[in-house]
Amino acid sequence: MSTATHYLADVLKSLAQPTRLKIVDFLRDGERCVCEIFPAIDEEQSNTSRHLNHMQTHGILARRKEGVKIFYAVKHPEVFEIIDLATSIVKNEVEVRSGLIRGAERGKP
Amino acid sequence: MSTATHYLADVLKSLAQPTRLKIVDFLRDGERCVCEIFPAIDEEQSNTSRHLNHMQTHGILARRKEGVKIFYAVKHPEVFEIIDLATSIVKNEVEVRSGLIRGAERGKP
DNA sequence: ATACTGTATGACTATATAGTCATATAATCA
DNA sequence: TGATTATATGACTATATAGTCATACAGTAT
């Protein structure tokens, strides 16, 4: 079992979860503290904290302490590119499945 | 719970798994049949079949039947871009953690 | 019809994951 | 000091996931 492949899977797994996607999306504008994040994504504080910790541990988020508050930010701009690419896959799948376009005609106007 | 976010997470989940990453990587050169795939990635035929089915169901792979053989191919080129971006995140993390470079100096020579 | 090859699946086990509730900890303030 | 605010975590439950083994099924050939 290649360890590199496992690390790669871990990074992708850090993004492949609805609650974490909501967090990352909320962080598009930059650093936010936990107290801003969990109300914005409408999740429990404890659950939000766990996901933030998960992503920080896996190298996706940076953590900064300022007094009582902890600020998190997305560390790698590639994260947003990945999500945007995955979004375009989803959009195309939805179009193809709804019969709007044929599978072979991706991207053509 | 936004369904769109769930679809997005599902697509990313389809890639966020070592065995599936091995499969996708093997499919970089194009379409392959199951009988070529599972020996190449060194996994059981049944397990390989399940992962192939998973990815096809989630819109990542295309399936083509030719006699007894089933050929699979990656449907969206974005898949490879996503994996390459995630790989660059992993590489940077490894570098930063090994102390080779500072976190703030990403990408600079 | 029988045998053979390639692929899928039922049934199961082990492990991982997401989420909740209650509580602990840390920093700040009155 | 005690109260308050912000964040993390222990303990638990429910569900999802990956993998295995044996078997079923489909297509082809004899």
Q: In the prediction, which pLDDT does B55 show?
A: 98
Q: In the prediction, which pLDDT does B1 show?
A: 44
- Read off the pLDDT band of B107 (50, 70, 90): low
Q: Establish whether the CB of A76 is closer than 7 Å to any nucleic acid atom in strand C.
A: no
Q: What angle do CA A98, B58, B70 make, to 5 degrees?
A: 105
CA-nearest residue to B59 within chain A is: A93
Burial class (CB in 10 A: 0-12, 13-18, 19+), B81: middle
Of B78, B86, B87, the CB nearest to A89: B78
Q: In the prediction, which pLDDT does A1 show?
A: 44
> A43-47: long-range contacts (C-beta < 8 A, 24 or more apart)?
A43/A19, A47/A19
**CB–CB of A38/A45 below 8 Å?**
yes
Question: Which has the higher per-residue pLDDT, B106 or B33?
Answer: B33
Ramachandran quadrant class, A93 (left: phi over 0; alpha: psi -120 to 50; beta: rest): alpha
Q: Where are the domains of chain B?
A: 3-75, 77-109
Residues A27-39 have pLDDT tens digits of 999 999 999 999 9
Q: In the prediction, which pLDDT does B78 show?
A: 98
Q: In the prediction, which pLDDT does A105 show?
A: 60
- The spacing between the Cα labelled CA in B46 and the C1' in D25, in angstroms, equals 14
Residues A98-107 have pLDDT tens digits of 887 765 565 5
CATH topology assigned to domain A3-75: Arc Repressor Mutant, subunit A (1.10.10)
Residues B54-93 have pLDDT tens digits of 999 999 999 999 999 999 999 999 999 999 999 999 999 9
ipTM of the complex: 0.92
**Nearest nucleotide (C1') to alpha carbon of B69:** C6
> What's the whole-number average pLDDT of chain B?
93
